[in-house]
Amino acid sequence: MKDNWFFKLLIVSCSIWSATALNSAWRWECIGGFCQKRRINNSTETGAISLSVCQIFCSNNAALWPKPTGKVSVGNYLLPINANSIDIAGIAATAPSVSILRHAVQRLRQQTEQKGSAKARNKGGRAAFFYFDIADTSIVDPVLRIDESYSLFVSESSSGSLNVTIKAQNAFGARHAIETFGQLVVHDDLRDELVVPRDVEVEDAPVYTYRGLTLDTSRNFISVEAIKRNIDAMAASKLNRFHWHITDTHSFPFYSKSQPQLSKLGAYSPKKVYMPDQIEDIVEYARVRGVKVVPEFDAPAHVGEGWQDSGFVVCLNKQPWELYCVEPPCGQFDPTEDGLYDVLGDIYGDMFELFKPDIFHMGGDEISFSCWRSEEKILNWLNARGWNSSSEEENFTKLWNLFQTKAIAQLDFKAKTTLPIIMWTSELTRKENIQKYLPKDRYVIQVWTEGSDPQIKDLLDANYTLILSNYDALYLDCGFAGWVAGGNNWCSPYIGWQKVYSNSPYNISAGRTDQILGSSAALWTEQVDDSSVDGRFWPRAAALAEILWSEPKTTWREAEPRILIHRERLVRDTGVNAEALEPEWCLQNENNCPQN
Ligand SMILES: *[C@@H]1O[C@H](CO)[C@@H](O)[C@H](O)[C@H]1NC(C)=O
Ligand SMILES: *[C@@H]1O[C@H](CO)[C@@H](O)[C@H](O)[C@H]1NC(C)=O
Ligand SMILES: *[C@@H]1O[C@H](CO)[C@@H](O)[C@H](O)[C@H]1NC(C)=O
Ligand SMILES: *[C@@H]1O[C@H](CO)[C@@H](O)[C@H](O)[C@H]1NC(C)=O
Ligand SMILES: *[C@@H]1O[C@H](CO)[C@@H](O)[C@H](O)[C@H]1NC(C)=O
Ligand SMILES: *[C@@H]1O[C@H](CO)[C@@H](O)[C@H](O)[C@H]1NC(C)=O
Ligand SMILES: *[C@@H]1O[C@H](CO)[C@@H](O)[C@H](O)[C@H]1NC(C)=O
């Protein structure tokens, strides 16, 4: 597939190009699979090619991101497209998932309009009609393991319009095809025209089913608007899971209908609360973009603000914090408090109602035994039950297990079904504990330790299913100033997109990819809020998107020209403030910047 692209001869023909003066002093030539910038000698050169057109015909995989896993074939003929005339032709209006397709085509129309100038939009061009062939039109939620494959065909119909034919197993595969088509619609800025290649065939399917971003909204609040912007960028990159670490010790921004005092006491301000209608809005916004929200209620550690009056939290802001938790302020549930579990049940119930999750995250990381040890009340309780076995660790592991057992009983009661549960790696997921405490048919383990952690092999050997968020490649908050000390923060240095791109699940699992559900790149927001959230995620999250969609056997070097192109798309089409990776000169002179 790639080799064809490398040696492809660039003969682009276009029905609209005429000998009118061009807007630019530059045109592009395809040399060895890379677009190169050249001066225009004659302002009416008819064959002069713009950068955006060159990228489609010359860059590998038609400059698509993430790169398709099957056939990519693009002819060498361009047609002008009319942004005001992009419509659906072939699908029954009554099909349950038709609204997903309508939404995606509407989004395409808006993005196409934004690409060109007003003049380009009003120049006319061909109408485009979408014909859908969807095997199962009843799927209306992008749940785990649905088949997201698609094929896309673009041709010119006998009436001269563009025929965009999409085949997929369900609307979410078809939605991906519309994203792919959108990447092929470009603005030719030499002639100020919106154009699209005429003869296209793409066959595509993702390698992993769980392709996510993890966002913390407790350390700092992130607005609904910023969350939506990032979901848009996810959709444009074919990511499909928004893992929402909504609460933590620092603040409790989740409005629980049954326990409203939690956000009243625990939010940073009355404005920094996610109200039920806002959460439903985000869940729906994500759904029509093929993204499923995974709510997390992290416990028994990572709780504090909001619980002041409950009597269920110990070590709240206990100092010196280093002794009782990993970062200030400390806070942890006291599992011996019986009243705690009804309140947890209320929170789970409220979350299920709003998120309608297909998998739920119970957190479970960084439990501090020294916090529990510092509480006389807890020690007495343990002693009273004779839970003072020969090892202290065993005492507390039992206590932790008691918490997890009682919490999940509440969860199951509220869910009225047995949802799969995600838990972070912890003491409980270690080889000697996990099979005793967390049955593999129920729990998916999200790995946050290093990619080389031997625990990964242990978990795979014990037949657990994993999600990878190994901090050495997927913690996007690493590499900034320290905030509990001088110097840099704990997981420095900064993780470049190349490192994200090299974090292959295939390599990490030693080829046991059937046990890897996928990965999620995490953004912990101690040092991030609305003003920088976009740039921390993007374009590095796009590097993750391609690794998970395509599991490429090639290196970041092959992807470099395309990620520069995709970064431009993200900024222009989704409004996300993705960071620049290189000087624009490198975008305009492909393959001239990275060393060989
Ligand atoms: C443009 O001019 C340069 C220098 O005179 C020449 O080398 C090049 O071949 C010309 N290009 C075309 C497309 O005529
Ligand atoms: C510029 O190109 C046009 C179209 O190819 C040609 O008709 C014209 O003679 C050229 N002019 C010069 C000065 O080379
Ligand atoms: C559109 O293209 C598809 C696939 O190439 C073809 O089967 C179909 O007949 C075409 N439909 C029209 C209306 O041109
Ligand atoms: C364990 O608990 C029993 C019953 O309360 C008590 O008699 C014993 O001293 C405790 N042992 C330790 C090591 O704390
Ligand atoms: C746990 O076990 C150790 C070792 O027997 C004992 O010293 C300790 O008192 C126990 N802790 C609690 C909280 O009972
Ligand atoms: C894991 O699954 C394999 C294949 O089904 C099986 O042979 C093996 O015994 C299982 N291992 C454990 C620890 O359950
Ligand atoms: C996977 O491992 C192989 C062998 O160690 C290495 O050559 C390759 O670069 C790795 N792939 C990625 C994406 O890191």
pLDDT, averaged per 10 consecutive residues of the chain (596 residues), comes to: 45 68 92 95 89 95 98 94 90 83 96 87 89 95 98 97 97 98 96 94 98 98 98 98 98 98 98 98 98 98 97 97 96 98 98 98 96 96 86 91 98 96 96 95 97 97 98 98 96 98 97 98 98 98 98 96 98 97 98 92
Instruction: Please report, for residues 56, 224, 241, 242, 323, the alpha-carbon distance to residue 231 in angstroms, rounded to integers and kept in the order given.
Output: 25, 10, 9, 8, 38
Q: Is residue 332 part of a domain?
A: yes
Q: Is residue 329 part of a domain?
A: yes
Q: Are residues 197 and 229 both part of a single domain?
A: no
46 lines ligand 2 (CB under 6 A): yes
Cis amide bond preceding 539, omega within 30: yes
Distance of alpha carbon 480 from alpha carbon 356, whole angstroms: 36
Q: Are residues 355 and 456 both part of a single domain?
A: yes
Which residues are CB-neighbours of 391 under 8 A, at least 6 positions away? Answer: none
Distance of alpha carbon 425 from alpha carbon 461, whole angstroms: 15
CA dihedral 219, 221, 224, 226 (to 10 degrees): -80
- In the residue annotation, 393 being an active-site residue is answered as no
Q: Are residues 434 and 394 both part of a single domain?
A: yes
Residue with the smallest CA separation from ligand 6 atom 2 is 463
Residue with the smallest CA separation from ligand 5 atom 3 is 392
- In terms of Cβ atoms closer than 10 Å to its own Cβ (0-12, 13-18, 19+), residue 143 is middle
Q: Are residues 279 and 157 both part of a single domain?
A: no
CB atoms within 10 A of CB 367: 24
Q: Starting from the CA of residue 555, give the closest ligand.
A: 7
Residue with the smallest CA separation from ligand 7 atom 4 is 507
44 lines ligand 7 (CB under 6 A): no
Print the domain residue range for 259.
Answer: 210-556
Q: Is residue 473 part of a domain?
A: yes
- Dihedrals phi, psi of 57, to nearest 5 degrees: -85, -20
Q: Ligand 4: distance of its center to the CA of 457 in Å?
A: 38
Q: Are residues 166 and 245 both part of a single domain?
A: no
Q: How far is CA 429 from the centre of its chain?
A: 25
Instruction: Please report, for residues 55, 147, 173, 583, the alpha-carbon distance to residue 150 in angstroms, rounded to integers and kept in the order given.
Output: 23, 9, 5, 35
Residues facing residue 172 across a β-bridge: none
* 248 and 525 Cβ atoms separated by less than 8 Å: no
Distance of alpha carbon 71 from alpha carbon 205, whole angstroms: 10
Predicted pLDDT of residue 16: 62
Catalytic residue selected from 366, 375, 558, 568:
366
Predicted pLDDT of residue 8: 52
Q: Ligand 6: distance of its center to the CA of 345 in Å?
A: 34
Of the residues 204, 236, 262, which one is the last residue of a structural domain?
Answer: 204
* 18 and 4 Cβ atoms separated by less than 8 Å: no
- Dihedrals phi, psi of 510, to nearest 5 degrees: 50, 45
CATH code for position 489: 3.20.20.80
Is residue 584 helix, strand or coil? Answer: helix
Q: Are residues 524 and 381 both part of a single domain?
A: yes
- Strands annotated E in 380-505: 421-424, 443-447, 465-468
Residue with the smallest CA separation from ligand 6 atom 1 is 463
Predicted pLDDT of residue 10: 62
Q: Which residue from 436, 431, 528 is spatially nearest to 477, judged by alpha carbons?
A: 528
Q: Ligand 4: distance of its center to the CA of 398 in Å?
A: 16
Domain count along the chain:
2
How would DSSP label each residue in 469-500? --HHHHBTT-SSB-SSSSSB-TT-S---HHHH
∠ CA 437-442-446, nearest 5°, is: 80
* Residue that the structure tokens 């955006």 belong to: 52
Q: Is residue 246 part of a domain?
A: yes
Can you tell me which atom of ligand 7 is nearest the CA of 504? 13
Distance of alpha carbon 373 from alpha carbon 509, whole angstroms: 37
463 lines ligand 6 (CB under 6 A): yes
Q: Are residues 184 and 270 both part of a single domain?
A: no
460 CB-side CA count, 13 A = 20
| pTM of this structure | 0.95
Q: Are residues 160 and 227 both part of a single domain?
A: no
Q: Is residue 565 part of a domain?
A: no
Distance of alpha carbon 63 from alpha carbon 546, whole angstroms: 12
Q: Are residues 77 and 111 both part of a single domain?
A: yes
Predicted pLDDT of residue 482: 97
Q: Is residue 570 part of a domain?
A: no
- Dihedrals phi, psi of 319, to nearest 5 degrees: -120, 150
186-188 and 193-197 strand pairing: antiparallel
CATH code for position 44: 3.30.379.10
* 35 and 29 Cβ atoms separated by less than 8 Å: yes
Structure tokens at 449: 């330790």
241-245 and 292-299 strand pairing: parallel
Q: Which residue among 432, 457, 463, 464 has the greatest number of ligand 6 atoms within 8 angstroms of its CB, and so is best to mutate?
A: 463
Q: Which residue from 515, 534, 520, 507 is spatially nearest to 452, judged by alpha carbons?
A: 507
Q: Give the 3-state secondary structure of 533-559.
A: HHHHHCCHHHHHHHHHHHCCCCCHHHH
Q: Are residues 195 and 333 both part of a single domain?
A: no
Q: Is residue 596 part of a domain?
A: no
Q: Are residues 472 and 502 both part of a single domain?
A: yes
Structure tokens at 434: 């996990």
Of the residues 204, 233, 265, which one is the last residue of a structural domain?
Answer: 204
Can you tell me which atom of ligand 7 is nearest the CA of 552? 13
Buried b (16+ CB within 10 A) or exposed e, 328-355: bbbbbbbbbbeebbebbbbbbbbbbebb
Q: Is residue 345 part of a domain?
A: yes
Residue with the smallest CA separation from ligand 2 atom 5 is 45
Helices (H), 116-156: 118-121
Q: Starting from the CA of residue 506, give the closest ligand.
A: 7
Q: Are residues 309 and 349 both part of a single domain?
A: yes
Of the residues 183, 204, 225, which one is the last residue of a structural domain?
Answer: 204
Distance of alpha carbon 65 from alpha carbon 560, whole angstroms: 11
